[in-house]
Chain A
């Protein structure tokens, strides 16, 4: 989304063709992009060389903390006659699920800890405490989203097949319900994540056949069944006379996790200033161009170290998209170096506090419920990337 319409630029470039405004875009030459790619590769190599005992201890400590919250939370829910204790229990279980899904599950399943060669932290076999089966999530997220980040029509995380999150998505009256769909997605986020890989809108349109989705549905049934049995049958039943309060508490813990993970994840790619791309612009990308797209298509959230841990370090979404398989707790130390590179090449480094970022996300959700003609396009300074070596 930047100031110059496609037709006005002779060089192939990145960025979606939004309405023209007189803003000067950054232009990156072919050589600059290659150089940037090299510098990021070096940054990555320097970090990989450091991996060792400290990273192992870090993730084990997070797991210990998460298990502690889980056990404490479930135990405190046995005391519903002490409402503050019960409420603390619900909160603790919610924290446990957030840690499990974000700093542990999401990151382990990116292969961030595969180098430890520890069966419990291997991306191939890890499962997380949510209804979405790990293998399906790894397809929709690690492959579809991280490979095709912010390419309209390919990255299914743009709107999750339900929402209109980019002006490049054609408006139709269905999108009047955009805020309602977003609210429902937030509330039932784990179920939305589970259904994501089904590509339900493609099933409705007849592009996906029964034999494509049958194994997915079987996997969901198996995984979700076990999760439901645990949270909504076994633990409530074990609390005997407190069946209902434990059930309600577990629903509450899952809801806390849903609201939080939705909010963090939506701040990753949808705040104002994040760019989207077309398939044509991104065909046959070089590694440097891929890096540039990841940086322009992601946004960070500023916060305390605790905030970063609770967001699975997805608050460092830019660093995560550059280096999805580096241990996430290294992102805070990488961030200043990435920012220096952004400054050096004149690239935006989209970052802001949580309320600023989530506010702009909800603003977009409401705005894009309406057609572009009613709301107008937002002018953004964009980045033009020379895709070909220009003969001198």
Chain B
């Protein structure tokens, strides 16, 4: 990666000791807790990003260009970052995959976000993102990326907003001067729902070894293919698919379709995919499903008791205090699933949220970091 390498200057040692002096002076608070009050983009430890461009490419998508602070270590095409924004006083964090090449010259990252009807953060960003907005960022993460060295043949399949990680792979391969066979197969409802159409056309025109295929599911003319994914689509666009590595990201229906076709062909090992957790539907009161205590590798069927009691029933010993929701000793991270707070009756289905085990009961499948 050429983008983010910072060279250490000779003065880095003295800078370091000056930094530790400042940190000692600010103790017990982090220096960033002072700096953010003046300029949120001047940070010592925290990684943040400033929106430098906002572009609404289709009716329901927005493309943000983000300049990260100096802590940013870059990403590999296909990985995701967590982006946090404040909505009505609360910081909400969601995962998005950069759509740009990992070699982008200015070190900025480009996110294309589809405003889902139920998506709080995506709706907010689509409606309210502005140049100058500062968001919190995480370092890039995720195992969905191209191997090194690159495969001889690559098939990229995406659907809807799943275009971003595979488009990043495509742009990255082109920046590397990739000369193998490369097909990019993208599914959308209609031609109006395709983000990056102009870019894709330009790429197809400039690169002989790259084939861009647009498939429309709700439109019978125009484009290259119509209807849903199947072997006939594969044969038409990448007849060499059995010797290729395939990278897939898209909505659950497309993911299921491609997975089952690859399983039938005995090619599951060549298929690499990124699964974004689908939003959890809030289900009825009755205790159903499994509670997964992810740190301990324990799964128990939901008994309807509080998560603290269920963890203890499963032989675990999470920390607790008052057992009545006052002292916050038992707070843990719920990674996925829906829960009810027995004190307030409030339901919560947001992933990666801190909850108090002693006053929370799971509704359906829940995964929690204990």
Contact = CB atoms under 8 A, between A and B. Distances in A.
A63 B27 contact: no
Nearest to A133: B28
A325 B344 contact: no
B37 interface: yes
A67 interface: yes
Interface in B313-354: 321-322, 324-329, 331, 343-344, 353-354
Contacts of B326: 142-143, 146-147, 324-325
A143 B320 CA distance: 9
B328 A124 contact: yes
B87 to A, nearest CB: 9
A147 B328 contact: no
Interface size class, chain B: 20 to 34
Contacts of B28: 127-129, 223, 226-227
Interface in A130-177: 138-139, 142-143, 146-147
A312 B37 CA distance: 21
A142 B30 CA distance: 24
A116 B34 contact: no
Contact of B88 (A52, A63, A146): A52
Interface stretch (A26-34, A107-115, A200-208): A107-115
A279 B202 CA distance: 78
Given A123-B328, A147-B324, A325-B328, A116 B91 contact: yes
Nearest to B93: A117
A64 interface: yes
B89 interface: yes
Contacts of A123: 328, 331
B37 to A, nearest CB: 5
A216 to B, nearest CB: 15
Interface in A246-292: 287, 290
Contact of A53 (B21, B89, B328, B344): B89
A235 B354 contact: no
Given A53-B89, A147-B324, A235 B25 contact: yes
B298 interface: no
Nearest to B321: A143
A116 B34 CA distance: 18
A226 B25 contact: no
Contacts of B92: 117
B328 A142 contact: yes
B282 interface: no
B90 A115 contact: yes
A359 to B, nearest CB: 31
Contact of B329 (A52, A139, A290): A139
A137 B324 CA distance: 18
B19 interface: no
B206 to A, nearest CB: 44
A138 B354 CA distance: 17
Contacts of B325: 325
A14 to B, nearest CB: 18
Interface string A28-63: 000000000000010011001001111110001001
Contacts of A88: none
Contacts of A230: 24-25, 27
Contacts of B89: 51-56, 115-116
B29 to A, nearest CB: 7
B263 interface: no
A229 interface: yes
A147 B327 contact: yes
Contacts of A129: 28-29
A41 B28 CA distance: 35
Given A56-B89, A120-B30, A227-B27, A146 B328 contact: no
Given A139-B321, A143-B321, A67 B34 contact: yes
B25 A234 contact: yes
A333 interface: no
B33 interface: yes
Contacts of B90: 52, 115-117
B23 to A, nearest CB: 10
B18 interface: no
Contacts of B343: 41
B349 to A, nearest CB: 15
Given A51-B89, A53-B89, A143-B322, A138 B329 contact: yes
Nearest to A58: B89
Interface string B12-44: 000000000100110111101110110000000
A230 B22 CA distance: 10
Contacts of B59: none
B86 interface: yes
Nearest to A48: B344
A118 interface: yes
Contacts of B354: 114, 117, 122, 124
A144 to B, nearest CB: 8
A56 B86 CA distance: 10
A306 to B, nearest CB: 22
Interface string B83-113: 0001011111100000000000000000000
Contacts of B324: 147, 287, 290
Contact of B37 (A56, A63, A139): A63
A56 B92 CA distance: 14
A234 B24 contact: yes
Nearest to B329: A143
Contacts of A67: 34, 37
A142 B24 contact: no
Contacts of B93: 117
A67 B32 CA distance: 12
Contact of A142 (B34, B36, B321, B353): B321
A147 B34 contact: no
A120 B33 contact: yes
Interface of B: 21, 24-25, 27-30, 32-34, 36-37, 46, 86, 88-93, 321-322, 324-329, 331, 343-344, 353-354
Interface of A: 41, 44-45, 48, 51-56, 60, 63-64, 67, 110-111, 114-120, 122-124, 127-129, 138-139, 142-143, 146-147, 223, 226-227, 229-230, 234-235, 238, 287, 290, 324-325
Lowest 9 CB-CB distances: which A-B pairs, in order? A127-B28, A143-B321, A56-B89, A142-B327, A147-B322, A143-B327, A111-B328, A52-B89, A52-B88
Given A115-B89, A124-B331, A142-B328, 15 more contacts: A53-B89, A55-B89, A63-B33, A110-B328, A114-B331, A114-B354, A116-B91, A117-B91, A120-B32, A120-B33, A123-B328, A127-B28, A142-B329, A146-B326, A226-B28
19 contacts: A54-B89, A67-B34, A114-B354, A116-B89, A116-B90, A116-B91, A117-B90, A117-B91, A120-B30, A120-B32, A122-B354, A138-B329, A142-B327, A142-B328, A146-B327, A147-B322, A234-B21, A238-B25, A325-B325
